[in-house]
Amino acid sequence: MRKRTLYVWGVAILCFVVLMIVTPAIPQSQEYHNFADQREFFGIPNTLNVISNFPFLVIGVIGLVLCFYKNYFKFSLQGELWGWTCFFIGVAAVGVGSSYYHLDPNDARLVWDRLPMTIAFTSIMAIFIIERIDEQKGTISIIPLLLAGLVSILYWRFFDDLRPYAVVQFVPCIVIPLMAILLPPMYTHSTYWLWAAAFYLLAKVEEAEDKVIYKWTHHIVSGHTLKHLCAAMVPVFLTLMLAKRTTETNRISLLKTWKVSWTKVNENGTRVESREYVYTSVQSEDSH
């Protein structure tokens, strides 16, 4: 088992090295800082982009408190407590760091926006390994994953290359939904993971269409402001999941559950068709 773990880490590092060799550097575009909505209210620059980060701070603090308040989330594993603690710290820090960045958008301030996000991304990866693969491996992976996120930010800042950060940000976006679907969950309410992933995807679309959405809404709200609000729904759904879930007694993957449900629907449909056929046949015989 230890050899397999080393093999997986080795393959992952090799793939990353190959990626860095065969792909060109991705510098930070200065156009990124040119957001659609730059209005100022109450003396706050870029007001809506600043205050729309407040939900991150609120849900991050709430989640962090509930992690330790009489074990409200009923964590059964120590690694879970550490992983979710890091996640909610990251979420709360996003509320502060992103607000700080949007007061005066530039590369130096962007570091304090992205660093908390990497904490949240990498913590979630560790949590999934703990829940879906192996508790010990997941717990051990928390620190290396957090360090990988930190290094990706430092690499971008010193070498103006976003490739490592892009890997840290987008790999969890692909891997986590796949793991949520394919691997048997330890707890109930696993579909909340997919709702969280859907809102994050919507947030990325809104971010990309910042100026378009601002124009569509007649300069009422921009895509980036909506992006903050949708992204804040991710920790909201995960907090609700933690509050509602119980230990899964019959560990079946979502994919298998969907297959069973689909089979039952098809069987029920076949039975209904069969009954209708028999009923029609009887009526036909009676008429003769």
Binding residue per annotation — 102?
Answer: yes
User: Which pLDDT band, with edges at 50, 70 and 90, does 263 fall under?
Assistant: confident
Residue-level pLDDT at 280: 52
User: Which pLDDT band, with edges at 50, 70 and 90, does 287 fall under?
Assistant: low
User: Which pLDDT band, with edges at 50, 70 and 90, does 5 fall under?
Assistant: low
pLDDT in tens, 8-29: 667 667 777 787 888 898 999 9
For 44, list phi and psi in degrees, rounded to 5.
-100, 115
Residue-level pLDDT at 20: 81
What average pLDDT does the segment 249-253 reach? 78
Residue-level pLDDT at 170: 84
User: Which pLDDT band, with edges at 50, 70 and 90, does 276 fall under?
Assistant: low
pLDDT in tens, 63-75: 999 999 888 998 9
What average pLDDT does the segment 107-135 reach? 93
Domains and CATH numbers, the chain: 40-259 (1.20.1070)
What average pLDDT does the segment 32-49 reach? 95
Residue-level pLDDT at 157: 93
